[in-house]
Structure 1
């Protein structure tokens, strides 16, 4: 796990709508645009091998959200035509202070890690998690969306892995993904996730919302 002094003050950033990376989670990415291939090449030369995932704040990628998540490149492979398949492992969220001018084809930001100390811990816990109730509403959501799932794996997954994986994988709007990213704890992320699922189900469901 990264220590705070290992985290750089300037990060190359990858603005990608709807893509969510969370601390201690893994995000596979397919890199093919020339500017991001250059970013990856530079990141792989650095000891930290860290890039920042962040969402645009509007159409295109000119504006950036204020909070993103840094990930370390933990796996990568190159295809015959020069593209990369990589895996980022989430380290810590960050807050953008300013964008850095420079000559790189990709964007870089001066960032602050203050306020995200718990991201560097080995795990987070949700003491109020009602797994059975959560899986019931998730079952309804999957049915409504015509999604399949490995329910044995979901039932056995650790709380953090379950909540964070669903937050990253489910198809929510970019602003909803940002809300999941900015949730201050695992319990608030779970509450936000349930709210988004209930919102998606609203209109065809007459049961009381899950508490």
Structure 2
């Protein structure tokens, strides 16, 4: 486990639309672009092996802009294919806030970041007090049926609150801006409430854009 004192001031960032990483969750990634292959090789030489996952903005006039809040993951699994691609797994460590992008000679993007405000991310699993699991699972079942999704319901039923909510937040087919809202939720309870709202809107044929209006 990474301690707050070990968190670096500058980290490489991987802007990947639709990819969501949350603290204490795992995100598998397939790396093949040369700039990100170089990033992985450099990260493996650092003591913390942290990579910041961050959503780029989508839309005219916002080219290359990044959302302010992302989540750093520690590179905990690494393998190389015969044709030179990397298969990695990031384990979510802590969210961060981008202070500024760092100019330099690296082919990938790097940012100065601030970790304050996300101290809870470095602790143990969160609890969702007052979680009505039966009602949530009923809504989830209707959402999966509507979306044509399948899952291992037995495993979901046995998962603890944080694993259940965070895994669904990462895996459900939401728009990037909706995923950003899930990332920025200040607690597990508010993330579950946001997740439930997104599922309900989808079931009514709505969208995250309508929800924001």
Alignment TM-score, normalising by the size of structure 1: 0.94
**Is 1:110 the equivalent of 2:112?**
yes
Flag structure 1 segments of 5+ consecutive residues without an equivalent.
205-211
Partner of 1:5: 5
Deviation track 1:93-117 (CA, whole Å, cap 9, x = no partner) reads 0000000000000000000001001
Q: 1:121-173: per-residue Cα shift (whole Å, max 9, x none)?
A: 01111002110000000000011111111111111100000000000001100
Q: Counterpart of 2:97 in 1: which secondary structure?
A: strand
- Number of the residue aligned with 1:14: 14
Alpha-carbon deviation of 1:6? Answer: 0.7
1:152-209 deviation per Cα after TM superposition (whole angstroms, max 9, x unaligned): 11111000000000000011000000000000000000000000000000159xxxxx
Structure 2 CA distance for aligned equivalents of residues 61 and 172 of structure 1: 21
1:158 aligns with 160
Q: Is the 8 A contact 2:2 2:48 kept in 1?
A: no
Q: CA RMSD, aligned part only?
A: 1.2
Instruction: Map 1:12-161 onto structure 2 (within 5 A).
Output: 12-59=12-59, 62-161=64-163
TM-score normalised by length of structure 2:
0.94
Residue 45 of structure 1 aligns to a residue whose secondary structure is coil
Kindly report structure 1 stretches of 4+ aligned residues shifted beyond 4 Å.
none
- Please say if 1:195 is aligned against 2:191: no
Q: Within 1, Cα distance between the matches of 2:188 and 2:173?
A: 19
The offset of 1:58, in angstroms, is: 2.3
1:77-104 residue CA offsets vs partner (Å, 9 max, x unmatched): 0000110000000000000000000000
Report the 3-state secondary structure (helix = DSSP H, G, I; strand = E; otherwise coil) of the residue aligned with 1:91.
strand
Structure 1 residues 47 and 123: CA distance shift in structure 2, 3 A: same
SS in 2 for 1:128: coil
| CA shift for structure 1 position 3 | 0.7
- 5+ residue gaps, structure 2: 207-213
Shift of 1:7: 0.7
